[in-house]
Amino acid sequence: MSVARQLLKKVMTGLLPHDRFLVSGPNSRVTSDGREHSWKEVALTFDDGPHPEWTPDVLDALAEAGWKGTFFVIGDRAAEHPDVLQRIMDEGHALGNHTFTHSDPKRTTTSQFHAEVRRTDELIAKLTGKQTVLMRPPKGHLTPGKFRRLWQGGQTIVLWNVDPEDFAMSNASEPLEWVHTYVPNQGDVILLHDRLPYAATIIRALSNVHGRELRSVTMTDWLSGGRRAPQVQPDRATASG
């Protein structure tokens, strides 16, 4: 991610309400009822699914850890695997919109982009009976026009501040190497991809290495928890979502 985009993200995070634009979660461990939890809350987020093999593996790994995740689904893949989409909901995870085809942001007009967003929102509601306001644009790219239309539609734009780059991993040792170098921060939003085999490996390794100090919650938990506006952690993101 370019320095200019990092700076823009930080400026927008400081100016916009946290229920409409999220890069990271709350940096305080104090909950809405005034209690302070001892662990660090992070949000594991998953793009580009659902996948018939890897998404169930991710769900199994989350269940083993006792954690929750947020799944930003592509509409046409959700239509192909409605049973996986329903399992995500049944197990208490959150769903978000990642457009209908994950079309190239540089080649997608504002009207095309919002048609895909609307189509995916309608599909999620039809298949699950639930609506979502969470939206992650492909690769994290938004033009002013696309941003304005999402804002007018009441969507919450969710980006990330930690990217293990699992899309570039090619063997089972790389996820483990990343986990051992990762230093968790309260409020981290971690970008993973459940169309790939490495997300579940990362979850299991995180649970084994950092399980005593870490909990994964959904983006909806943060939005509904009465938290203060989030603060951007040191940015380790790339445009890979």
**pLDDT tens digits for range 60-82:** 999 999 999 999 999 999 999 99
What are the CA-CA distances from residue 8 to residues 52, 56, 141, 232 (Å)? 36, 36, 12, 12
Q: Determine the average pLDDT of the residues in 17-41.
A: 78
pLDDT band per the 50, 70, 90 thresholds, residue 8? low
Q: Is 15 a domain residue?
A: no
Q: Is 33 contained in some domain?
A: no
Q: Which of 18, 47, 81, 166 is catalytic?
A: 47
Measured distance CA(234)–CA(232) in Å, rounded: 7
Which whole number is the average pLDDT over 191-197?
96
Query: Which residue is catalytic, options 51, 81, 98, 193?
Result: 193
pLDDT score for 83: 97
The answer to whether 75 touches 116, Cβ cutoff 8 Å, is yes
The answer to whether residue 95 scores a pLDDT higher than 70 is yes
Residue 34: pLDDT above 60?
A: yes
Angle at 235 between CA 121 and CA 172, to 5 degrees: 80
Range of the domain at 206: 3-9+41-224
Alpha-carbon distance values, 86 to 48, 82, 95 (Å): 16, 6, 10
Mean pLDDT over 185-196 rounds to 96
Q: Residue 185: count other Cβ atoms within 10 Å of its Cβ.
A: 18
Give the residue from 11, 22, 10 showing the smallest Cα distance to 157. 22
Residue 230 lies in a domain: no
* pLDDT band (50, 70, 90) for residue 5: low
- 54 within domain boundaries: yes
Q: What is the CATH classification number for the domain harbouring 132?
A: 3.20.20.370
As a whole-number percent, the residues of the chain with pLDDT over 90 amount to: 76
Question: 145 or 10, which is more confident?
Answer: 145
pLDDT bracket for residue 240 (50, 70, 90): low
Of 165, 213, 159, residue with least CA distance to 25:
159
Asked if the structure places residue 241 within a domain, the reply is: no
Residue 20 covered by a domain: no
Rg (CA), the chain: 17
CA dist., res. 68 & res. 190, Å (int): 13
If one counts every other C-beta atom within 10 angstroms of the C-beta of residue 224, the result is 11
Strand partners, 187: none
Number of structural domains (the chain) is 1
33 catalytic per annotation: no
- C-alpha torsion sign, points 42, 141, 88, 227: positive
Residue 238: the pLDDT is 45
Q: Looking at residue 13, what is its pLDDT?
A: 55
What's the average model confidence in pLDDT over 18-42?
Answer: 80
The more confident residue out of 78 and 230 is 78
Structure confidence at residue 115 as a pLDDT band (50, 70, 90) = very high
Determine, yes or no, domain membership for 237.
Answer: no
User: In this predicted structure, what is the pLDDT of residue 109?
Assistant: 96
* 166 carries an active-site annotation: no
Q: Is residue 28 domain-resident?
A: no
Tens of pLDDT along 118-163? 999 999 999 999 999 999 999 999 999 999 999 999 999 999 999 9
- CA angle (52, 86, 172) in 5-degree steps: 35
Q: Which residue has the tokens 């930690």?
A: 162
Given a cut of 60, is residue 228 above it in pLDDT?
A: no
